[in-house]
Amino acid sequence: MGKFEITSRKNGEFQFNLKATNGQVILTSQGYATKATCLNGIESVKKNSQDEKRFDIKEASNGKPYFNLMATNGQVIGTSQMYASEATMKNGIASVMKNAPEAEIVDLTEA
């Protein structure tokens, strides 16, 4: 089962990474001012990751594909890594769809 890991940034903001069962980061959030809004972001990922239309496929300036997961209001709630090919990027989307709904939440800021 995948997991959401909550960490804090140097500037005091919170962020999360969604990791697949193999430990690979498959989605990273923006920074959140509070832990509560970070947790809301995780819930939004759990919900929106089940709708293929919420995945916005992009291409980086170096030509590598990646994707953003969008909320219903059009806000980016998570960004993938850059992938070597479109096929591996599509596997990344499938991994987010599979792992996000049941992923446990691990708060690393309380360690």
Res 111: pLDDT? 62
Q: What is the reported pTM?
A: 0.93
Residue 80's pLDDT is: 97
DSSP symbol at 3 = E
| Domain range list for the chain | 3-110
What angle (nearest 5°) sits at the alpha carbon of residue 72, between those of residues 96 and 3?
A: 25
Taking alpha carbons only, the member of 75, 93, 82, 96 closest to residue 32 is 75
Architecture of domain 3-110: Roll (2.30)
Strand 76-79 and strand 14-19: the pairing is: unpaired
User: Is residue 107 pLDDT above 80, yes or no?
Assistant: yes
- Render pLDDT for 13-71 as a digit per residue (tens, 0 to 9): 999 999 999 999 999 999 999 999 999 999 999 999 999 999 999 999 999 999 999 99
